[in-house]
Amino acid sequence: MESTAVSHIRTTFKALAAADDGGIGVTRSFYSILFAKYPGMREIFPAVMEMQADRLLDAIAYIVENLDDMDKVQSFLVQLGRDHRRYGITEDHFIAVGGTLIATLERFAGTELWTEEVDLAWREAIALIAAVMLGEINASDAPGVWTGTVVEHKQVLQDVAIVRLQLDQPMSYGAGQYVGVSVPSRPRMWRYLSPAIPANDAGQIEFHIRRVAGGWVSPAMVRGVTPGERWNLSAPLGSLGVDRTTGRDQLMIASGTGIAPLRAQIMEMAMRGNNPRVHLFVGGTYPCDLYDLETLWQLARTNPWLTVIPVSEETVNPWWHTDPAPVTPPGMSERLTGKLGEVVAEFGAWEDRDIQIVGSPSTVQTIKYRLQAKGTPMDNVRHDPLF
């Protein structure tokens, strides 16, 4: 896009986002107009729209911010397009959304700000967004939604469950990627989960799920699941994985169920003959939070390139945890005590490593700060989007 068009878009967006409510009123209005004009569109969205407004605003903000780096915008829109395949989106949907967005922006900007040039610039940007997303949506014959049956639900901690499913059709995903998941008790409320095992032709898939207190969906995924129920999964996304082109050894850092995508990568590596060295730090608050140590130990025992270092913030389990603490299996590094980021950084800056960090958004940020303070080159650090 031309720089004047980019600057028109930025100026209007900045003015709207500077409103007292941070632009939330604009997105609420957008959905009201959309659903009033195109009632059929309501079915695509969840019953509770609370987070939807933030998501739309975040996506537009990201695009506006990066409009002068089209490669970045393009790869973001490709992911967004792939993610939207689950909704069965067509060109008509984009026409409805694009038209509604223009109408909403115009209404909020007012006649002074919404000049002919501004109108043209936004239309150009919206056409570009629709073209890239539709291109990606139509690019593949793979299904928009995979269906699967829960075959096992294992409560490994009070707030963590391992759920195994048999998919009707195998899904081809890279170890380290994540997928959208929707469960029958929370229809259309998709949440991202990272498969904990590599893709396989038999269509088996496993998720490790933590209940977020006050969350809409995760409590139902952890407690209310019964074998036989049917889940929907959407196309794989994300770019975590071992980049073999760098030739560098790997540092993997997992907090809680963040172990899932790293474990999938390690399992995939274990099927290969030649691998870089991997140091995996796996952390939790209490020793009992390290629910997957046995599997990790088995992997480390048979793969000399892998070192697993368990870390917990507390030395003993909470009084209300009645199961015996998991013993660090013989042959595995002793469990270390401390905050995960601090413990990892105590070993040095790890400047010669490719680094992946997986956990809740705040944990990932904290670990990044610790490493940055130690001198770790941030270009070597990767993580999933933090939302």
Ligand X SMILES: Cc1cc2nc3c(=O)[nH]c(=O)nc-3n(C[C@H](O)[C@H](O)[C@H](O)COP(=O)(O)OP(=O)(O)OC[C@H]3O[C@@H](n4cnc5c(N)ncnc54)[C@H](O)[C@@H]3O)c2cc1C
Residues near ligand X (CB under 6 A): 178, 191-194, 207-210, 212, 214-218, 238, 257, 260, 360, 384-385, 387
Nearer to ligand X, 38 or 192 (CB): 192
Q: CB-wise, 264 or 288, nearer to ligand X?
A: 264
Q: Give dist(CA 338, CA 347) in Å, integer.
A: 13
3-state SS of 142-183?
CCCEEEEEEEEEEEEECCEEEEEEEECCCCCCCCCCEEEEEC
User: 16 or 364, CB closer to ligand X?
Assistant: 364
No. of helices (H) and no. of strands (E), the chain: 11, 12
Q: Considering the complex, what minimum distance in angstroms separates the CB of residue 160 from ligand X?
A: 8
CB of 102 to ligand X, least distance (A): 30
Q: How far is the CB of 237 from ligand X (least distance, A)?
A: 7
| Calpha distance 96→310 (Å, rounded) | 51
- Residues 6 or more apart whose Cβ sits within 8 Å of residue 16: 23, 26, 105, 108, 109
Beta strands in the chain (DSSP E): 145-157, 160-167, 179-182, 191-193, 204-210, 230-234, 249-255, 278-284, 306-312, 336-337, 353-358, 381-382
Using alpha carbons only, give the angle 177, 181, 182 rounded to the nearest 5 degrees. Answer: 175
H-type alpha helices, 182-232: 218-222
If the CB atoms of residues 76 and 114 are measured against ligand X, the closer one turns out to be 76
Look at the alpha carbons of 19, 22, 23, 27 in this order and tell me if their dihedral is positive or negative.
negative
Nearest-angstrom CA–CA distance, 281 and 259: 9
Kindly tell me which of 109 and 162 has the beta carbon lying closer to ligand X: 162
The least distance separating ligand X from the CB of residue 289, rounded to whole angstroms, comes to 13
Nearest residue to ligand X by CB is 215
Show Cβ contacts of residue 74 under 8 Å, excluding neighbours closer than 6 positions: 132
Rounded CA-CA distance 377/231 in Å is 40
The least CB distance from residue 235 to ligand X, in Å, is: 13
Decide whether 36 or 48 has the Cβ nearer to ligand X: 48
> 186: Cβ–Cβ under 8 A, 6 or more apart, which residues?
46, 216, 217, 220
Query: Minimum Å distance from CB 273 to ligand X?
Result: 29
Nearer to ligand X among residue 214 and residue 331 (C-beta): 214
Measured from the CB of residue 145, what is the shortest distance to ligand X in angstroms? 17
Among residues 380, 107, 147, 144, the alpha carbon closest in space to that of 247 is found at 380
Q: How far is the CB of 176 from ligand X (least distance, A)?
A: 10
CB nearer to ligand X: give 67 or 296: 296
Is residue 130 helix, strand or coil? helix
